[in-house]
Structure 1
Amino acid sequence: MMGTVHAKEMEGHSQMDNPAPRKRSIDFKQPAKVQRVLIEGLVRTKEDFLISKIQDTFKAENFEEVVRQCVESKSQLQELGIFKTVKITVDTSKAPGASASDYEVKFTVEEKRFEGGVHTAAGNNDLETSLTMGLNNLFGRGEKLSARYAHTRNFRNRKNNQAHVHFTKPLNGNPNVRLVLGGYSTNTDVLLSGYKEASKGIQAAFTFPSTVGSHNIQWDGVWRDLRALSRTTPFPIREQAGHTLKSSIQHTVTTDTRDDKILPHEGFLLKAVQEYAGLGGNVEFVKLNTELQLNKEILPYIVVQLSAACGTMWGLGKEKRVTINDKFFLGGPLTLRGFHDRGVGPHVEGNALGTDAYWLCAAHVYTPLPFKPGLGGFGDFFRSHAFVNVGNVGAVELDKSLKENIEQLSEEFRLAYGLGLVLKLGNIARMELNYVVPVRFMNGDCVNPGIQFGVGMTFL
């Protein structure tokens, strides 16, 4: 039960007078009114910060509504992320002159001051080890100061070290409306494209919900130093080396109705990202990226999933630069299966150059393994699936019509199909072991037929 309902006996009766508990029935439709709400356990939290979370309990008109509003208030307190535990006690009011229908509600909380730890997580074919530390409720109104250092190693020996510091402030006590300020530093070796990058930046973000989904508006100012990874890095990548200063504004809107983020049965995901770089610095472009996923259970535990993604970008200004670290890349065991990571599109001496546009579609049929799926057992983490992936990369030319650009992107498409096993890793990542048959590919593509293994948080 989310809360505890206490019914006290009249004064003057001891435990010896009532040796056995008596059964009592509660009419949840009986009139009830909350006269007082107490919050115990506050140390740093300001009381005015919590008023909006508990004030609806005073609107209840019967006992059922009292219980429902208390549970809703508890949920809102937990969403703030500043309490370890929240407990509810509902009791009859002892205030002078109180009637039998008057109640008192007490929330007992335990504040969460510090948090942190060492974690290991799977990324897009990466294994990441991270150290996190955080100070919660810094000024008593839900603020958080967090620091994170992560070391990532790709299964093909790409290295990535990153450090982040962020200050988060919920606005008007709403954890879904936040202001985030921060800074970061990263060092990345991108083996498949023959370069390494060091970057240092600052950012400010504002997140808020709406009727069409959750929004994130973010500004980034970052200095980047791009270098050749080795002496064998080809000239088309070497000539892009050097320092760039990028100042960009990015808007992301996400609508997600899926019942599970990794192995959903129903629901859809729509995510659209728009970015403009050019608010200063020497990088200027417009970049658009969209992802759509639809899920439908056609028979018990048999799910059809249809996915699509596309993106395009345009460089702006004659003296502005668009370098390889801002481009799109396609291919990999969780996206365009049957190809290596960054395996589709232009390459030079085995190094992927990236493109200005791409599109990708996928169709999956998921079926359960014989481990009693849906009953909370081992089988809930596994699925078998058959799939078809099709996609292409290219460039959008502004001097051509929309029809001409679509025709260009639809020519020389890549196609692969296969089947395999999917393992759900918590609620953030998945692992796939597939047998893939690439049907259509082009000269220069890095094809990966047969057994293909992948781990990641994003998939199509």
Structure 2
Amino acid sequence: MGTVQAKEMEGHTQIDDSAPRTRRSVDFRRPAKVRRVLIEGLVRTKEDFLLPKIRDAFSAENFEQVVRQCVVSKANLQELGIFKTVKITVDTCQAPGASQTDYDVKFIVEEKRVEGGVHTSAGNNDIESSLTLGLNNLFGRAEKLAARYAHTRNFRSRKNNQAHIQFTKPLNGNPKVRLALGGYSTNTDVLLSGYKEASKGLLAAFTFPSTLGTHTVQWDGVWRDLRALSRTTPFAVREQAGHTLKSSVQHTVTTDTRDDKILPHAGFLLRAAQEYAGLGGNVEFVKLNTEFQVNKEILPYIVVQLSAACGTMWGVGNNKKIAINDKFFLGGPLTLRGFHDRGVGPHVEGNALGTDAYWLCAAHIYTPLPFRPGLGGFGDLFRSHAFVNVGNVGSVELDKSLKENIEQLSNEFRLAYGAGLVLKLGNIARMELNYVVPVRVMNGDCVNPGIQFGVGMTFL
């Protein structure tokens, strides 16, 4: 929220929580009591919906507490995502019978009704162009209806057209507890696996916080049509073509204490997802996936980062075979560097078939650029780094012991190391230009030694 600055001006006080504290022209220790709280600028928003967000202002006993509680209330209002601006003024109360220590607090808000636009962004080594439209505060309680159309292009792996529409609503006025209902349609050409897929689905999701992190429980019901991409698609992919109906429930819990999502200096990320498909339809499996990252600044501006990820899945029910569009794939310039996208694991005629299990570990050391050009400005967006990546793919067999499965997944592991540059793209993505040396590869892998370039929102 920043540091609070208060400045007394002709009988009222304006509060700015974004400016650094320079000097105080107000005695913050003097007794003060908030008598009235006013909200100006409401058009659609219900007043009773906002009252819990500003109620704490009445608990102040001196002027410092008044200012602090107002800043907290402002942050609560902004967190709802329905206001363009929120301003605060504190004035002496002019109501009959008011004392010199009574104050009126006024929140001046500007509602955000419609948002959207045309955007181009970087994804997982691909470029996405999108058109979005959002209608905020539909019924006056921070509901939102959002529609989005996106075209994604990755010249080595796939192209994707997708359309989404989703309605979200905070429950009990808490933006951290949300219910979402939506539908989507996608058309994807997966070039590196030789198939194309059309899908249409519905979803319902519930998000809530706990001491363990942020939880999301989501149900998906989706019809999928998988087809061969071209005449050269091998039979191992063609035999999986056809229609499937998947109904699944997924739980994801995320704990993120990092001080930055892209180039952190400290903190950790833990994300675990569990999915069960088989609540109707003809697709049945259990899928588990976990990611962990920890960051530590060992010297000024020198950061060590350790990451690990693993996943496994197995078929259940009568048909235990898992389709290619549900499996794991490993390799790429932001994960197992030194290999192409989907470059690790079984291939047929150059087409990646995916696997039922994988594991991946990475160690990085980040430093500023030599001589730190652009210090305090554009140069702070860059880091140089050296790294080692190791990983493998395989399968977990339930009729074998844990030791046997670990040994199976440990054999024939892949290993690569290298160094390069990292550029932070806003707070959502990063770009890497690396020189990579694959040390350990297996027959059938698609190796990418030397210069490797990647852009993405997720990395290891």
Q: Same fold per TM (> 0.5)?
A: yes
Measured against aligned partners, the alpha-carbon deviations of 1:187-220 in whole angstroms (never above 9, x if no partner) come to 0000000000000000000001111110100000
SS in 2 for 1:260: coil
In the TM superposition, 1:165-184 aligns within 5 A as 165-184=165-184
Matched position secondary structure for 2:74:
helix
* C-alpha distance in structure 1 between counterparts of 2:183 and 2:44, whole Å: 26
Displacement of 1:380 after TM fit?
1.2
Secondary structure of 2:100 counterpart: coil
Alignment correspondent of 1:284: 284
Paired position in structure 1 for 2:187: 187
Q: Give the Å deviation of 1:410.
A: 0.6
1:354 aligned residue: 354
Structure 1 residue 458 corresponds to structure 2 residue 458: yes
- In the alignment, structure 1 residue 125 sits paired with structure 2 residue 87: no
| Range moving further from structure 2, 352-361 or 90-99 | 90-99
Residue 446 of structure 1 aligns to a residue whose secondary structure is coil
Letter in 1 for 2:353: L
Confirm or deny that 1:393 pairs with 2:416.
no
The equivalent of 1:145 in structure 2 is 145
Q: Residue in 1 aligned with 2:83?
A: 83
- Tell me how far apart the structure 2 counterparts of residues 274 and 318 of structure 1 sit (CA, whole Å): 21
Instruction: Supply the distance in 2 between the matched residues of 1:172 and 1:371 (Cα, whole angstroms).
Output: 53
Aligned to 2:18: none
TM-score under structure 1 length normalisation: 0.95
Who is 1:17 aligned against?
A: none
Check 1:2–1:118 CA distance in 2 against 1; reply closer, same or farther (3 A cut): farther
Structure 1 residues 70 and 174: CA distance shift in structure 2, 3 A: same
TM-score normalised per structure 2: 0.95
The residue identity in structure 2 corresponding to 1:304 is V
For the residues of structure 2 that align with 1:192 and 1:101, how far apart are their CA atoms?
71
> What amino acid is aligned across from residue 404 of structure 2 in structure 1?
E
Alignment match, 1:311: 311
Q: Quick one: distance in 2 between partners of 1:57 and 1:142? A: 22
Aligned to 2:27: 27
Task: State the identity as a percent.
Answer: 85
2-structure distance, mates of 1:99, 1:44: 34
CA offset digits 1:114-142 (Å, max 9, x no partner): 00100000011110000000100000000
Alpha-carbon shift at residue 159 of structure 1 (Å): 1.2
* CA contact 2:4–2:68 (8 Å) conserved in 1: no
Residues 1:332 and 1:139: Cα distance change in structure 2 (over 3 Å): same
* Mapped contact 1:178–1:207 kept (Cα < 8 A): yes
**Structure 2: gaps spanning 5 or more residues:** 13-22
Structure 1 residue 177: Cα displacement = 0.5
> C-alpha offsets along residues 315-362 of structure 1, whole Å, 9 cap, x if unaligned?
001236520000000000000000000000000000000000000000
**1:410 equivalent in alignment to 2:407:** no
Matched residues in 1 for 2:350 and 2:232: separation?
A: 11
Task: Write the mapping of 1:98-109 to structure 2, written as runs, cut at 5 A.
Answer: 98-109=98-109
**Counterpart amino acid of 2:259?**
D
Is residue 309–residue 361 contact of structure 1 (8 Å, CA) maintained in 2? yes
> Over aligned residue pairs, what C-alpha RMSD do you find?
1.6
**What is the correspondence of 1:4-403 to structure 2 with a 5 Å cutoff?**
5-8=7-10, 25-156=25-156, 158-319=158-319, 321-370=321-370, 372=372, 376-403=376-403
Displacement of 1:155 after TM fit? 2.9
Give the SS at the match of 1:146: strand
1: CA distance, partners of 2:24 / 2:179: 49
What is the one-letter code of the residue matched to 1:450?
A: G
Q: Is the 8 A contact 1:337 1:389 kept in 2?
A: yes
* 1-structure distance, mates of 2:457, 2:281: 32
Would the aligned equivalents of 2:194 and 2:230 in 1 still touch at CA under 8 Å?
yes
CA–CA distance in structure 2, aligned partners of residues 9 and 431 of structure 1: 52
After TM superposition, give the deviation of residue 376 of structure 1 in Å: 3.3
Q: CA deviation at 1:372?
A: 4.4
C-alpha deviations, 1:57-92, integer Å up to 9, x for none?
001111111000000100110110100000000111
Secondary structure of residue in 2 paired with 1:39: strand
User: Residue 282 of structure 1 contacts residue 321 of structure 1 at CA under 8 Å; is this kept in 2?
Assistant: no
Unaligned runs of 5+ in 1: 11-22
Instruction: Give me the whole-angstrom Cα distance separating, in 2, the residues matched to 1:94 and 1:238.
Output: 79
Question: What CA distance in whole angstroms lies between the structure 2 residues aligned with 1:394 and 1:25?
Answer: 68
Q: Quickly say closer, same or farther: Cα 1:249–1:373, change in 2 above 3 A.
A: farther
Question: CA 1:253/1:206 → structure 2, altered by over 3 Å: closer, same or farther?
Answer: same
The answer (yes or no) to whether the contact 1:417–1:439 under 8 Å persists in 2 is yes
Give the 3 Å change call, closer, same or farther, for CA 24–268 of structure 1 in structure 2.
closer
Distance (whole Å) between structure 2 residues aligned to residue 48 and residue 114 of structure 1: 22
SS at match of 1:44: coil
Structure 2 counterpart of 1:181, which letter?
Answer: L
Q: What residue identity is the alignment partner of 2:230?
A: S
CA contact (8 A) 2:340 2:447 kept: yes
Give the SS at the match of 1:55.
helix
1:157 offset after TM fit, Å? 6.3
Q: Is the CA contact 2:4–2:67 (under 8 Å) kept in the aligned structure 1?
A: no
Q: Which residue identity lines up with residue 405 of structure 1 in the other structure?
A: N
Q: Secondary structure at the match of 2:170?
A: strand
CA distance in 1, matches of 2:58, 2:156: 59
Residues 33 and 62 of structure 1 are in contact (CA less than 8 Å); yes or no, is this contact kept in structure 2? yes
Matched residue count: 448
Question: 1: distance between equivalents of 2:373 and 2:86?
Answer: 33
